[in-house]
């Protein structure tokens, strides 16, 4: 059965950190692993299908973490991924 989530900021008790573009998904995943922050990365709606059909160059993945890890995960995103995106 399919249902529409009311709040895209949460997923099974986890908080959304950021939607990360495909060229930074691997980097951000490694940064979170290196800092012992468990996460779930997933695409919304039909994005998974569209990624298969189009190659997924423009389909972001949402990163969710535990509420207690949210501040650190966001800090790491801002410190590494945003700087990297600005330079490219």
**What digits encode the pLDDT tens for the residues 33-75?**
999 999 999 876 554 555 555 565 677 889 999 999 999 999 9
In this prediction, residue 73 carries a pLDDT of: 96
In this prediction, residue 22 carries a pLDDT of: 83
Q: Report whether pLDDT(21) > 90.
A: no
Phi and psi based region of residue 56 (left: phi greater than 0; alpha: psi -120 to 50; beta: remaining): left
In this prediction, residue 88 carries a pLDDT of: 60
Averaged pLDDT score across all residues of the chain: 78
Task: Tell me if the pTM is above 0.85.
Answer: no
């Amino acid at each position: 059965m399919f249902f529409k989530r009311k709040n895209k900021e949460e997923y099974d008790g986890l908080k959304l950190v950021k939607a990360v573009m495909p060229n930074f998904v691997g980097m951000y995943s490694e940064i979170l692993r290196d800092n012992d922050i468990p996460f779930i990365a997933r695409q919304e709606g039909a994005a998974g299908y569209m990624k298969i059909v189009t190659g997924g160059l423009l389909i972001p993945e949402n990163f969710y973490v535990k509420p207690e890890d949210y501040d650190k995960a966001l800090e790491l995103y801002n410190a590494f991924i945003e700087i990297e995106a600005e330079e490219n």
